[in-house]
């Protein structure tokens, strides 16, 4: 496809190939079942806002200082935090937890090439999300930062980090917002999943996160050309923006992986307890 950006989750499919599926890992209670789908949907939504950021950088020709992948994570976190709803705040919490868990599951930083990759290490991405959370609202999010043992000094300095990102993004994006009379053209398509991914595809579609991100793009930004959101079976756990075809592709395999990652972290499936992302899990290390 001639992708400009490195694929966000390259290797996750291989990493989770040996992980029991959610159904195999444990018999989920009704509560765990609901929480599993919420966790998977919220992590998928964070990824979609990350890919939306890549689209905005490209289509609106926004300047990016530093690594684009880091900037895209910042946009995703900032976008969710500024919605200010309990559901969106929970989505940011779930995204941080997801990166902590994946950091352990895939041994992010375990090989030298991880340090030369386009993306930060998984736990670094998690800590950056937590920093922006507490930087925006220390009263509300300090319990989260405390959970992950972020020091008081770092929590205090996170306010400067958030203010820098908030001011920069507002200056960049405010003048590029769309009028309500001329919404941008964003088409959403759900392609066939196949029987093995049907449950994950149904959970993804019913969550509504694809439409939520697409609607934000339609209403908030003036895009020069129509874009597409396509959910499909990819053969790997992934999500990415393709600047050649102007589409964001979300792979059903990624939703399945988030569901499996949540199930593997349930107490009944942990080898030992500990803070999120630090417990030894029955997951392969690569």
Q: What is the pLDDT of residue 193?
A: 96
The CA distance from 156 to 135, in Å, is: 7
Q: What is the pLDDT of residue 109?
A: 74
Give me the residues paired with residue 231 across strands.
Answer: 190, 250
Q: What is the pTM of this model?
A: 0.86
**β 247-251/239-242 pair status:** antiparallel
Among 263, 276, 284, which residue's Cα sits nearest to residue 39? 263
The CA distance from 31 to 34, in Å, is: 5
What is the pLDDT tens value at each position of the chain, 286 positions in all?
334 444 444 444 334 433 445 444 457 889 999 999 999 999 999 999 999 999 999 999 999 989 999 999 999 999 999 999 999 999 999 999 999 999 888 877 788 887 878 888 899 999 999 999 999 999 999 999 999 999 999 999 999 999 999 999 999 988 677 555 678 999 999 999 999 999 999 999 999 999 999 999 999 999 999 999 999 999 999 999 999 999 999 999 999 999 999 999 988 776 444 444 433 332 222 2
The CA distance from 13 to 42, in Å, is: 19
Q: What is the pLDDT of residue 183?
A: 85
Q: What is the pLDDT of residue 256?
A: 96
Neighbours of 279 (CB within 10 A): 16
The separation between the first and the last C-alpha atoms of the chain, rounded to the nearest angstrom, is: 27
**β 239-242/227-232 pair status:** unpaired
Q: What is the pLDDT of residue 25?
A: 45
């Amino acid at each position: 496809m001639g992708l400009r950006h490195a694929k966000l989750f390259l290797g996750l499919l291989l990493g989770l190939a040996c992980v029991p599926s959610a159904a195999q890992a444990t018999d989920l209670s009704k509560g765990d079942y609901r929480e599993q789908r919420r966790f998977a949907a919220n992590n998928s939504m964070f990824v979609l806002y990350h890919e939306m950021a890549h689209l905005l950088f490209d289509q609106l020709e926004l300047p990016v200082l530093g690594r684009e992948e880091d900037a895209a994570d910042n946009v995703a976190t900032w976008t969710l935090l500024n919605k200010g709803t309990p559901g969106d705040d929970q989505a940011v919490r779930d995204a941080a937890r997801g990166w902590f868990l994946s950091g352990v599951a895939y041994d992010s930083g375990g090989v030298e090439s991880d340090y030369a990759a386009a993306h930060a290490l998984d736990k670094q991405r998690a800590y950056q999300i937590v920093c922006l959370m507490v930087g925006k609202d220390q009263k509300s999010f300090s319990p989260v930062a405390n959970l992950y043992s972020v020091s008081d000094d770092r929590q205090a300095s996170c306010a400067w980090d958030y203010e820098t990102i908030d001011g920069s993004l507002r200056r960049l994006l405010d003048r590029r917002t769309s009028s309500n009379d001329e919404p941008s053209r964003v088409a959403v398509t759900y392609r066939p999943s196949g029987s093995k991914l049907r449950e994950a595809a149904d959970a993804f579609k019913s969550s509504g996160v694809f439409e939520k991100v697409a609607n934000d793009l339609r209403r908030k930004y003036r895009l020069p050309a129509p874009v597409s959101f396509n959910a499909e079976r990819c053969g790997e756990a992934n999500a990415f923006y393709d600047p050649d075809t102007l589409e964001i592709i979300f792979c059903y395999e990624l939703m399945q992986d988030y569901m499996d990652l949540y199930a593997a972290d349930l107490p009944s499936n942990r080898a030992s307890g500990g803070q999120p992302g630090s417990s030894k899990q029955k997951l392969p290390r690569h």
